Amino acid sequence: MDDLRAEQSISAMDTPHRLVVAAVYELPVGRGKAFGHDMNRVLDGVIGGWKLNSFLTLESGQPLTATMYNGRIFYGDQRPNLAGNPCSGASIDQVVNGTANYFDVSAFSDPGDEADGNSPRYLSNCRAPGIHNLDQGIEKTFRIRENMYVEVRAEFFNFLNTPRFAYPYAGYGSSYFGTISSTSNSPRHGQFGARFVF
């Protein structure tokens, strides 16, 4: 591009909001606890002493960039012209269901042959879908003797089975411009484990 000022932009990795919470909670069930205070030792050994561990991530999306699907510029990537807000404001459900477009298509236009286009390098006010994820685990220690015990653990990733949708297709001029057709995370899955310490 000849106009280097147009290349001044926020970072592609710009993430203005990120919240991560890790918590461990011992269930109040078992001997000496709020529920089952006088529970016999055998029953307490089975249902008492379980712990929950949670890992919550909430993060806003990163900025998008729009390019020309069939660029007509000899020396690099061509971007479209932009006038107004590039995001349509449609909900992610509407976009994924095909009833709306992620971008406001009317805000973009073809800059013509051998023209750079005035769309910024990254669209700070139009961002990819963010992260809303909860990983959940449950664990318990079954004590056999003072220095002999078994640890049992189950962990579930993307516990609420929340999809994180992929970036919208950003090649202006394509029929797919502003559509989302995939996810960038895995559906709910888990693992189980046990460890014997002696």
Kindly indicate the confidence band of residue 157, based on its pLDDT and cuts at 50, 70 and 90. very high
Integer Cα distance of 184 and 11 in angstroms? 21
Please write the tens of the pLDDT for every residue from 43-65: 888 888 899 999 999 999 999 99
C-beta separation of 118 from 8 below 8 A: no
Rounded average pLDDT over 162-186 = 95
pLDDT at 99 exceeding the cut of 90: yes
Read off the tokens for 172: 């202006």
DSSP E strands in 83-183: the ranges are 108-109, 123-127, 131-145, 148-157, 171-172
Q: How high is the pLDDT of residue 34?
A: 85
Q: Is 119 helix (H, G, I), strand (E, B) or coil?
A: coil
Integer Cα distance of 103 and 100 in angstroms? 9
Domain locations in the chain as residue ranges: 4-197
C-beta separation of 156 from 135 below 8 A: yes
126 burial type by CB count under 10 A (0-12 exposed, 13-18 middle, 19+ buried): buried
Q: Where are the alpha helices (DSSP H) in 40-126?
A: 41-47, 92-96
Rounded average pLDDT over 26-33 = 87
pLDDT at 1 exceeding the cut of 60: no
Q: How high is the pLDDT of residue 158?
A: 97
Q: How many other β-carbons are positioned within 10 Å of the β-carbon of residue 43?
A: 12
Please write the tens of the pLDDT for every residue from 117-152: 899 999 989 999 999 999 999 999 988 888 899 999
- The secondary element (H helix, E strand) that includes residue 189 is strand 189-197
- The secondary element (H helix, E strand) that includes residue 17 is none
Per-chain mean pLDDT for the chain: 92
Q: How many other β-carbons are positioned within 10 Å of the β-carbon of residue 97?
A: 10
